[in-house]
Amino acid sequence: MKLVVQTGDPIRGTAGLYAEGGFRLPGDKSLSHRAALFAALAQGESQVENFLDSGVTQVLLTCLRQLGVQWQLYDRTLIVQGGGLDSFSANSEPLFCGNSATTMRLLTGALAASGVAATLDGSAGLRTRPMDRIVMPLIAMGVPIQASDQRKAPLQLSFRDRSKPLQAREFFLSQASAQVKTCLLLAALSADGTSVINEPASSRDHTERMLRSMGVEVYQPNSLSVVIKPPSQPLKPLRIKLPADFSAAAFLIVAALITPGSDVWLTDVGINSGRTGLVEVIQDMGGKLELFYKDNQAGEDIADIHVQFSALRGVKVQGDLVVRMIDEFPIFAVAAAVADGQTVVKDASELRFKESDRIKAIVQQLSHIGISVIETEDGFIINGGQPINGGQVDCDGDHRLAMAMAVAGINSNSQVQINGAEMINESFPHFVDLFNSLGANMAWQL
Ligand code: S3P
């Protein structure tokens, strides 16, 4: 489907999880994945409020059902009957992970811990994404797993006798990745001793916080390492209210910053420091963006965010900051295009392994609406202050690219058409309704 975006009114109002009668921000994607999967590994009934009901979480829920896990989802509350670490039942049908690398990498870790045989597969896009980063360390732990060329999906796990535990290891990851870290932490639940995972930069630590709240002994001796002991007791079920997704809120943040006259409050948003690099960057760019701390739920900080139209200036983004805003580069590129002066992004080659090669996709798709971006090996350079033109773009099967293009369209001098924009439903259902309710002018076309 095509999304057609025209200049609308300023973006004004409030969006949050509990908007009465209005459209809501989605629950956190990373936390929804973890909560559904970890609840299945716990002993007893878990209750997860504000669960993200979207494409990428539906594939995980369907896989869990195939593995014999009982769950119900009513009005954004997910109830899971967890049966413990060894409760998955083998299923001869492949587990289809759709476009979701999070589903594939996390579920593989849980299956490695459980010992059941399974095949995990995904969409053509997911089949191109690197899986050697989980396959190689899992093999080192003794997990009977194979991939095509040891590198890509489909992944094949053979039966493992759970009376023989996996081997505890110390890993030094070559890339900072919360998905890889989580996969190994889950496998380590069935290891014969303490495992340690070291990263080159610190990625989001949702898994560590959630597992700790479930009674697992997991700690971070420093910001780059995590230590986990296999539990001697069953994992405690979850009772958790998830915050709104910061990475979804980021589209409204940038829309408000670059659209004259805008003023928006985003309420109950998760502000895990592994996710909020964009806040620091926007403040560095001169953006009027403030966070008001509100609550903590199962170890996760939650805030209300106030953002207003601002004159932005170019900025340099590099090093550890890249990891803390890894999902925000498509929308950040739109802010950088509008800002005054040059923006340089470095140390971001991981962007080439996301739902699309995001460096290439940003360069190509922004060029269709008149914004010139210079591609570098590990990032991009934008000379800001460029007018945004109308035009046709393609989102390359990437939900975040589609949403970034829609925000660019709000500020373009004529219509922007985004082909394949239904991908937005992978992570942000009601994106269009929510934006329109705040002043945007977007419409679906067949
Ligand atoms: C995620 C981690 C990130 C992120 C993805 C969700 C997670 O991937 O890009 O959208 O939930 O752990 P990497 O850990 O591979 O960087």
The span from the CA of 149 to the CA of 167, in Å, is 24
The span from the CA of 261 to the CA of 364, in Å, is 30
Task: Please report the pLDDT score of residue 349 as a whole number.
Answer: 97
Contact 247 CB / ligand 1 (< 6 Å): no
CATH fourth-level superfamily of 29-241: Enolpyruvate transferase domain (3.65.10.10)
Does residue 281 contact residue 223 with C-beta atoms inside 8 Å?
no
User: What does DSSP say about strands 195-198 and 170-172: parallel, antiparallel, or unpaired?
Assistant: parallel
Residue tagged active-site, from 245, 327, 394, 396 = 327
CA of 178 from ligand 1 middle (Å) equals: 6
Q: In the annotation, is 263 catalytic?
A: no
> Read out DSSP for 145-181?
EEEETTTEEEEEEPP--TTSPBPP-EEE-SS--HHHH
pLDDT tier, 149 (very low <50, low <70, confident <90, very high otherwise):
confident
Q: Is residue 446 scored above 90 in pLDDT?
A: no
- Asked if the domains at 2-26+243-445 and 29-241 fall in one CATH topology, the answer is yes
CA of 130 from ligand 1 middle (Å) equals: 13
Q: Is residue 21 scored above 70 in pLDDT?
A: no
Nearest-CA residue for ligand 1 atom 10 is 327
Show me where the domains of the chain are located: 2-26+243-445, 29-241
Overall size of the chain counted in residues: 446
pLDDT tier, 119 (very low <50, low <70, confident <90, very high otherwise):
very high
For residue 191, the 8-state DSSP code is: B
Task: Please report the pLDDT score of residue 298 as a whole number.
Answer: 81
Task: Please report the pLDDT score of residue 92 as a whole number.
Answer: 85
Q: Is residue 91 scored above 90 in pLDDT?
A: no
Detail the DSSP E strand segments found in 309-435.
316-317, 342-345, 373-376, 379-383, 391-394, 416-419
Task: Please report the pLDDT score of residue 12 as a whole number.
Answer: 96
Q: Is residue 411 scored above 90 in pLDDT?
A: yes
Alpha carbon separation from 70 to 7, 30, 52, 116, 336 (Å, rounded): 46, 21, 18, 17, 46
On average, the pLDDT of the chain sits at: 96
Contact 310 CB / ligand 1 (< 6 Å): no
CATH architecture under which domain 2-26+243-445 falls: Alpha-beta prism (3.65)
Per residue in 25-41, pLDDT tens? 999 999 999 999 999 99
SS3 393: strand
Structure tokens at 417: 């058409």
Q: Which helix (H) or strand (E) holds 63?
A: helix 55-66
Instruction: List the single range of 120-134, 148-162, 184-198 with lowest mean pLDDT.
Output: 148-162
Per residue in 92-101, pLDDT tens? 899 999 999 9
| Mean pLDDT in residue range 315-341 | 98
pTM of the shown model: 0.98
| Mean pLDDT in residue range 258-268 | 97
